[in-house]
Chains A and B, each alone.
Chain A
Amino acid sequence: MLEIKNLHVKLEEEDKQILNGVNLTVEAGKVHAIMGPNGSGKSTLSYVLSGRDGYEVTEGSATLEGEDLLAMEVEERAAAGMFLAFQYPVEIPGVGNMTFLRTAVNAQRKARGQEEMSATEFLKVVREKAKTLKIDADMLKRPVNVGFSGGEKKRNEILQMAMLEPKMCILDETDSGLDVDAMKLVSDGVNALRDEGRGFLVITHYQRLLDHIKPDVVHIMANGRIIKTGGPELALEVEHNGYADILAETA
């Protein structure tokens, strides 16, 4: 599904290297988790994969189902099936949440040569999915993320993911700022999307989320590199001992 090879990334504006040769393959149907200290480059990896400005790939490649992601525009990546649940979802005053969702869904359908969803069908689907995430009519009407609590923003990200049905989902610290109940809602939302044809890359600091969203593979990232890869037990190790031991053994 997602194949990242020897990815080196620096900041466009400064001479600062952030990713130093990331290798990572997420297979369809699998959930991979990335853990790692703050500043290790996890968000940068997610931004580079979704096409944010400001980064320069100096070496390596990233493909989605064999297609060169790095050559695509941001919106083309989305239409190809890439989705990033943002660590900090963006507020967009003046654009209604519903308008935003419908525009996005139909833009992707159009890009894939599919027919647009009718207004009534869209409304039906969105209401249904919003309900399972406990997103009420008011939140759907309000401007995108404006005045939303931290938890509401994260639930709104999952709603977008559910509506867009991407092939490859990256979740960047979707658990941060969530209380126990919200964590359950969000994890249920993600698990409902788990599917043979879909890959997940879950960035988190905590085992807590991985109790709900059970990963197949766990990676540890440090200094812009994957320094260790293992099974779910690796996350438990981090939970108990922190990163120090792993950093020391790979140094």
Chain B
Amino acid sequence: MALPKLKADATEARLATLELPIGGWTDTARREALARVQAMGLPARRDEYWKYTRPDTLVAPETPEAQVYEMDEQLLFDEVDRLCLVFVDGVFDAEASDEIAGEGLEITRLAEVAGADIHWAQGLYGTLEAAGQVPVPRTLAALNTAFATDGVLIRVTGKVEKPILLRYFHRATTSDAMLHHVIKLEPGAQMTLLENGPAAARFNKVMEVEVANGATFHHVRAQGRDHQRRAATHIFARLGAESVFKSFTSTANGVLTRNEVVVEFTGDDAVAHVAGACVGDGDFLHDDTVFITHDAVGCESRQVFKKVLRNGATGVFQGKILVKAGAQKTDGYQLSQSLLLDDDSQFYAKPELEIYADDVACSHGSTSGAIDETGLFYLRSRGVPEGLATDLLTLAFLAEAVQEIEDERLQECINTRLSEWLERRRG
């Protein structure tokens, strides 16, 4: 089926600016991904899946400028004992990175090993992304598989104690970065992945995660503060029996962010929690798009997304739980809420349940509201000034999402960031 002309033209215009890396073990995956991009076309304004978020600047041949934000605070996760890899505008910075080695841990960079003929990641690279293209195209992710210049490939066979931190700096006003990570947790393995930073003026990131039977993957991400940066990120996760996948994202600022998470349960009794807390002020659009497929028995999925919006900021949530026939005893929960701090801000939510099994418990709730006036009066009547009281209530609103982070130290890091963000606005 041919693409509409506008879409085909826009796709070709974007492809003309990129060069397909050739050779090595990713070669086939990249060529197939390019074919997918050409067949599906890049997202356009009229696409149903992009109803609330305009993809124009994410697909444009030229990268829109994004001023570099001067850091005035301590780097996030600095107080946590972790191993760190640094990327600057998508380019690896060896000097700033730790030498990473650990028991039960294998890490290489995509750019380092792409020329090799074989690699353990060969069966995964682009595979989970390709599987996630049905029933809705996620063409930006296919574009990433085809053209990613670097990324990390992590294979975990044991219980890795120290979190691994990927730190992304943004230093060039028109940088356009594409990173593609592949993470494989072998049966029973455990790891925590942290990510932080604005990454680039425009950032396209894909992370494919395979969590084998009985393995546990924790992910905590804080997207950077640069006001004008844009990001389209995808996480594709495939979960084996009795595995655990928990991913949390906090976002402060960024003119445009689209975070897609695609989870598929393939083994019984697994758990997936996906959560997000975002705070936006002014020219800010944040879109969480989640698609969870239950194709196994007794799995639990939980989505908790909270958005604080002010001065005309916009929040979008599209979340779907698909329960396939036979996926009995599914426990699916979805919550998306926004706190609108003024009348100019907006929240669009599209929660969806599609269920083909009869013995399941699924629920979803979506709300949009203002600060609780009664609570505010109560706090103020105890002498707490209005601004501080509002911040306390705002953090309380976000708490349910932040508490999805299992590690309390990491919770604390994120909470501190969020309260500092609020405090700066209080002046």
A residues within 8 Å of B by Cβ? 50-53, 73-75, 77-79, 83-84, 86, 89-95, 99-100, 103-104, 107-108, 111, 143, 160, 164
Contacting pair A111 B393 (CB below 8 A): no
Known contacts A94-B395, A103-B392; is A53 also within 8 Å of B377 by CB? yes
- Which residues in A have their C-beta under 8 angstroms from that of B389? 75
How distant is the Cα of A22 from the Cα of B383 in the complex, in angstroms? Answer: 26
Interface residues on B, range: 20 to 34
Contacting pair A104 B382 (CB below 8 A): yes
Q: How far is the CB of A43 from chain B (nearest CB, A)?
A: 13
How distant is the Cα of A66 from the Cα of B383 in the complex, in angstroms? Answer: 20
Known contacts A52-B377, A90-B378; is A75 also within 8 Å of B386 by CB? yes
How distant is the Cα of A77 from the Cα of B382 in the complex, in angstroms? Answer: 9
Contacting pair A74 B400 (CB below 8 A): no
Report if B375 contacts A (CB, 8 A): yes
Q: How far is the CB of A47 from chain B (nearest CB, A)?
A: 9
Give the contacting residue for A94; candidates B377, B384, B400; CB below 8 A.
B400
The 7 closest A-B pairs by CB, nearest first: A94-B396, A78-B383, A108-B383, A104-B382, A74-B380, A90-B378, A94-B399
- Which residues in B have their C-beta under 8 angstroms from that of A73? 380, 386
Give the contacting residue for B379; candidates A77, A79, A94, A100; CB below 8 A.
A100
Contacting pair B378 A104 (CB below 8 A): no
Contacting pair A100 B382 (CB below 8 A): yes
- Which residues in A have their C-beta under 8 angstroms from that of B383? 75, 78-79, 104, 107-108, 111, 164
Report if B385 contacts A (CB, 8 A): yes
Interface of B is mostly: helix
How distant is the Cα of A32 from the Cα of B115 in the complex, in angstroms? Answer: 87
Contacting pair A75 B380 (CB below 8 A): yes
Q: Which of A51, A52, A103 has the most CB of B within 10 A?
A: A103
Contacting pair B392 A95 (CB below 8 A): yes
Contacting pair A50 B381 (CB below 8 A): yes
Contacting pair B382 A160 (CB below 8 A): yes
Report if B397 contacts A (CB, 8 A): yes
Contacting pair A107 B384 (CB below 8 A): yes
Report if B388 contacts A (CB, 8 A): yes
Known contacts A75-B385, A75-B386; is A92 also within 8 Å of B379 by CB? yes
How distant is the Cα of A79 from the Cα of B385 in the complex, in angstroms? Answer: 10
* Closest residue on chain B to residue A112 by CB atoms: B383
- Which residues in A have their C-beta under 8 angstroms from that of B392? 95, 99-100, 103
B residues within 8 Å of A by Cβ? 372-375, 377-386, 388-389, 392-393, 395-400
- Which residues in A have their C-beta under 8 angstroms from that of B399? 94
Contacting pair A92 B381 (CB below 8 A): no
Q: How far is the CB of A101 from chain B (nearest CB, A)?
A: 8
Known contacts A53-B373, A75-B386; is A92 also within 8 Å of B380 by CB? no
Q: How far is the CB of A29 from chain B (nearest CB, A)?
A: 23
Contacting pair B381 A107 (CB below 8 A): no
- Which residues in A have their C-beta under 8 angstroms from that of B400? 94
Q: Which of B379, B381, B384 has the most CB of A within 10 A?
A: B381
Contacting pair B386 A51 (CB below 8 A): no
- Which residues in B have their C-beta under 8 angstroms from that of A50? 381
- Which residues in A have their C-beta under 8 angstroms from that of B379? 92, 100, 104
- Which residues in A have their C-beta under 8 angstroms from that of B377? 51-53, 74, 90
Q: How far is the CB of B177 from chain A (nearest CB, A)?
A: 36
- Which residues in B have their C-beta under 8 angstroms from that of A86? 378
Contacting pair A93 B385 (CB below 8 A): no
How distant is the Cα of A86 from the Cα of B375 in the complex, in angstroms? Answer: 12
Contacting pair B380 A93 (CB below 8 A): no
How distant is the Cα of A70 from the Cα of B1 in the complex, in angstroms? Answer: 72
Q: List 10 A-B contacts (CB under 8 A).
A: A74-B377, A84-B381, A93-B396, A94-B398, A94-B399, A95-B395, A100-B382, A100-B392, A111-B383, A143-B396
- Which residues in B have their C-beta under 8 angstroms from that of A160? 382
Starting from the known contacts A75-B380, A94-B393, A104-B383, 6 additional A-B residue pairs (CB-CB under 8 Å) come to A50-B381, A74-B381, A78-B380, A95-B395, A104-B379, A107-B384
How distant is the Cα of A2 from the Cα of B307 in the complex, in angstroms? Answer: 44
How distant is the Cα of A33 from the Cα of B389 in the complex, in angstroms? Answer: 31
* Closest residue on chain A to residue B386 by CB atoms: A75
Q: How far is the CB of A192 from chain B (nearest CB, A)?
A: 19
